[in-house]
Amino acid sequence: MDSVRVLGLRVDRLSMPQTLEMVEEYIRDRKVPRHIVTADASMVVTARSEPELKEIVDKADLVTPDGAGILWHSRLLGKLILHKVSGVDLVAEICRLSAEKGYRVYFLGAAPGVAEEAAENLRKRYPGAQIVGTHDGYFNAAEEPGVVEEIKKANADVLFVAFGIPKQEKWITRYKSELNVPVSAGIGGSFDVYSGRVKRAPVAMQRTGFEWLYRLWCNPKKIGKVMTLPRFAMLTIRERLVGQ
């Protein structure tokens, strides 16, 4: 894999078509459960103080560049990453493939009712999409074995987990061998978007890198995640200055 280090965290240089090609290869192979990480600026900052998360990312099968911050860092440091492959876009693209090729997809996470609403809307967008199960992320330790068993019985090809960083990455790492799902990926707040409860930023804001600002305006509770962005920017600039 063609990879670079973004403030010490591995990120793979690949486009959405390349990512989907790898996903389909993993589904066909089925021998080893694969883990896809969608890495944004907040993950990079979090991983600097969480060695477990950094190790998970380093060992992941794919680490996609999720967010304008990652692309900005790559340009500034001369480690050019051309394409953004976000979790929210990956969900839609795999649901599209599911409708075309029958891949079985499972949604896990978000508040009660959100994953179900997201699944319903994506089935409407991609008629024939095989979203074979949903479960919210509000379960306790005693209920967890039942959730795992439910996912196993669904016989999914792709599992999307929306617990937020780093909980989703740690959960996938813990259970991926037991679940034996060919592809698992943490996708943050994507179900909130597809459920319709959270609107995605206008395309112009997505393209110019200000989607984070729109999300903050829509949901001020995101301030904790957004506050990692100034630190990411300062660390990037410091790395650029030290490297000169």
pLDDT tens digits along 110-127:
999 999 999 999 999 999
The 3-state DSSP class for residue 216 equals helix
Which pLDDT score, from 0 to 100, does residue 220 have?
47
**Taking a C-beta distance cutoff of 8 angstroms, is the pair 26, 34 a contact?**
yes
Which pLDDT score, from 0 to 100, does residue 223 have?
44
Report phi then psi at 195, rounded to 5.
-75, -20
Residue 66 has pLDDT above 60, yes or no: yes
Which pLDDT score, from 0 to 100, does residue 215 have?
57
Closest CA to 8 of 84, 79, 88, 87: 79
* Alpha carbons 135 and 117: distance in angstroms, whole number: 11
**Taking a C-beta distance cutoff of 8 angstroms, is the pair 184, 33 a contact?**
yes
Which pLDDT score, from 0 to 100, does residue 30 have?
92
**pLDDT-based confidence at 217, cuts 50/70/90?**
very low
Q: At what angle do helices 16-29 and 87-101 cross, to 10 degrees?
A: 50
Which pLDDT score, from 0 to 100, does residue 131 have?
98
Residue 216 has pLDDT above 50, yes or no: no
Chain segment 75-115, per-residue pLDDT in tens: 999 999 999 999 999 999 999 999 999 999 999 999 999 99
Report, in angstroms and rounded to the nearest whole number, the Rg of the chain calculated over CA atoms.
17
Chain segment 174-194, per-residue pLDDT in tens: 999 999 999 999 999 999 999
- 110 or 202: which leads in pLDDT: 110
Chain segment 20-35, per-residue pLDDT in tens: 999 999 999 999 999 9
Residue 204 has pLDDT above 60, yes or no: no
Dihedral of alpha carbons 75, 81, 82, 84, sign:
negative
Which pLDDT score, from 0 to 100, does residue 205 have?
58
Average pLDDT over residues 45-69: 96
pTM above 0.95, yes or no: no
**Taking a C-beta distance cutoff of 8 angstroms, is the pair 60, 37 a contact?**
yes
For residue 24, give the H/E element and its range.
Answer: helix 16-29
Residues contacting residue 43 through CB under 8 Å, at least 6 positions apart? 9, 37, 53, 57, 66, 165, 166
Residue 70 has pLDDT above 90, yes or no: yes
